[in-house]
Amino acid sequence: MHSINRRDFLSGLSLATAVLATPRYGFSWVHKANEFVEVDTTYGRIKGMRTEGVSVFKGIPYGGRVSGDRRFRRPAPLESWTGVRDALQVGAPAIQAPRRNEPAPAEDCLFLNVWTPANDNRKRPVMFYNHGGGFVIGSGASASQDGSNLARNFDVVVVETNHRLGLLGFLYLDELAGSDYAGSGNMGMLDIVDGLKWVHDNIAQFGGDPNNVMIWGESGGGAKTSCLYAMPSAAPYFNKASIESGPGVRMTLKETAAETTSLLLKELNIAPKDWRKLLDVPAADLLAMQGKLPSVAPFLGKNTSKGVAPRRAGGFGPVVDGHALPHNPFDPTAPAISKNKPLLVGWNEDEFTFFAWERKDTEFAKLDFEGVQKRLEPQYGEDTLKLIEAYRKATPNATAPQLYIAISSIAMMGLGSVDIAEKKAKQGGAPVFLYNFGYKSEKPIPGTDYPMGTPHAMDISFKFNNEVPPRDGSTPKESFFGGNRPERFTASHHFAELWATFARTGRPAAKDVPTWPAYNLKTRPTMRIDSTCEIIDNRFNEELNFWRSIGRL
């Protein structure tokens, strides 16, 4: 097993979402029914369920049909209904492999879920979450991101959407199909914007403040949040943002997206002038074809000393089309359109252990420093030995496997996060706050004695405050990634309270947590989130200076 490639990375993101959506590992969607609760929306009245102090509304439509002649286009207008519509079951996720305990995936997937402490017209902050899974899988019904505890314990309203994904959400047809398909390479993102507009028009009825909306997301959801931060159509509908383990600095250029479209048409034996035949291809066949094309990670960083490597054709995600997404989210600068919107950004300390676990890689735990060099050389070439020497100097007590995980983790999620924080700080507008999540799971990676530490995706259940003792006082079950130590409950509370306070005020804060200063280019303060939190100035300074010296940051 060598350095992770783009296909492995994307499949890992998919597995992360699938694992964390499994109810026995997360916060179950099955609740004891207390009472029904009804509320009016702009399209009609809906009925949800109030359980243990939280009103939950599932499967609310926020957009119309996107199948048939609406494939690759903006949705048909959503039709109002009469009477009371049930909002008791989650809606269909976007086209992907079947998801456990969710409806069958479908093209018509524009649904959202709402958790609120009460439908009482109070103006609570709204936390609008973008699910992970790259840009190809996932849903707003993943069990680990159940919003009940966050709403109940921190008096916020939580909203999550389903939206188009993969080929059906991001196939670039602008140059072939004409004005009806303008923005085709960003349909999945524009769906999310429609969800934000629904929140603006309706969330007051759910006890939320339409003028105090935070967008946030992890992994692919962080990349989606990065894009929304730069999209003119989204700008009126949110006030602050958080990008977690998904620094979307750059997205696909339209020239590359056009090459991907050509690849697809060639594979389907469709001439460019006959592109309309795509409207008749069954969605299942398009999903199969999507899997045959080269995969591309949902976000890119610098990877040559001469600048940014060109993104190769293949894969589906947001397109820098000059309109829906006018420019790269954070390249060359932070987006001016969001200059006055506060931002949180950061990553998990041991991101890469997730991918070692997912790939059943046990050999990394046996590496010596020569073995680390061999593993990293395909990615870093002539810089590899200098990179290892820089890390050994900065962390002289690190073992070879620890050094390998540290390098791989910061390269994957850390460099882009720091890049975003620096560019936002240079902008001189609203503050940006940089964090590392560092709670350490003691669970070993199967087949090794190496602990999971703080792997990719472990933060989801923590920040949703779903790492909590059972409400009935029974013995806590082991957390899938988080392990058994009771300290995880304190770390989860810190994480959730920091984020809920940021949603409320634009500045993260929590009881028993140090004051979190905004990031600046002198002291570079970073909040390390754990059962005991601390501010660390100039964290990873030597390591980051080396990454800068080889043009990776």
Report the candidate in 151, 125, 18 with the shortest Cα–Cα distance to residue 466.
151
Q: Break the chain down into helix, strand, coil percent, rounded to 5.
A: 40, 20, 45
Average pLDDT on 60-75 reads 98
How far apart CA 319 and CA 311 sit, in angstroms, is 12
The average pLDDT across 300-305 equals 49
Band of pLDDT at residue 298, cut at 50, 70 and 90: low
Q: Is residue 219 flagged as an active site residue?
A: yes
| 232 has a pLDDT exceeding 90 | yes
Does pLDDT of 217 surpass 50? yes
Residue among 317, 13, 19, 9 at smallest CA distance from 142: 19
Please write the tens of the pLDDT for every residue from 156-211. 999 999 999 999 999 999 999 999 999 999 999 999 999 999 999 999 999 999 99
What kind of fold does domain 6-252+323-345 have according to CATH? Answer: Rossmann fold (3.40.50)
For the cut 80, the answer to whether the pLDDT of residue 296 exceeds it is no
pLDDT value of residue 471: 81
* pLDDT value of position 293: 87
CA nearest neighbour of 155 among 512, 466, 504, 506: 504
Task: Answer for the pair 240, 341: CB distance below 8 angstroms, yes or no.
Answer: yes
Instruction: Tell me the per-residue pLDDT of 80-139, one tens digit each, with 9 for 90 and over.
Output: 999 999 999 999 999 999 999 999 999 999 999 999 999 998 999 999 999 999 999 999
Is the pLDDT assigned to residue 304 strictly greater than 70?
Answer: no
Distance of CA 54 to the CA centre of its chain: 25
Mapped onto helix, strand or coil, the DSSP state of residue 293 is: coil
Question: What is the domain partition of the chain in residue ranges?
Answer: 6-252+323-345, 350-485+519-549
Q: How far is CA 39 from the centre of its chain?
A: 29
Cα–Cα distance measured from residue 93 to residue 37, given in angstroms and rounded to the nearest whole number: 24
244, pLDDT greater than 70:
yes
Residue 383 has pLDDT above 90, yes or no: yes
Spatial neighbors of 447 by CB under 8 A, at least 6 apart, are 360, 362
pLDDT in tens, 267-291: 999 999 999 999 999 999 999 999 9
- pLDDT at res. 305: 39
What pLDDT, on the 0 to 100 scale, is given for residue 312? 77
pLDDT in tens, 310-337: 567 889 999 999 999 999 999 999 999 9
User: What is the C-alpha to C-alpha distance for residues 502 and 283, in angstroms, rounded to an integer?
Assistant: 40
Residue 313 is predicted with a pLDDT of 85
Handedness of CA 89, 146, 185, 324 (dihedral sign): positive
Backbone torsions φ then ψ of 343, nearest 5 degrees: -140, 140
Phi, psi of 158 (to 5 degrees): -110, 135
The pLDDT of residue 281: 98
Quick one: pLDDT at residue 6? Answer: 44
Q: Of the residues 142, 184, 219, 441, which is catalytic?
A: 219
pLDDT of residue 12: 52
What percent of the chain stands above pLDDT 70?
A: 91
pLDDT at 16: 54
Helix or strand holding residue 127 (H, E): strand 124-130
Distance of CA 399 to the CA centre of its chain: 31
pLDDT of residue 13: 53
- Residue 307 pLDDT: 42
pLDDT band at 404 (very low <50, low <70, confident <90, very high): very high
Which residues on adjacent β-strands are paired with residue 444? Answer: 451
The pLDDT of residue 29 = 37
How much of the chain, in percent, has pLDDT values that exceed 90? 88
pLDDT at 397 over 70: yes
Contacts of 151 (CB under 8 A, 6+ apart): 54, 115, 116, 117, 157, 158
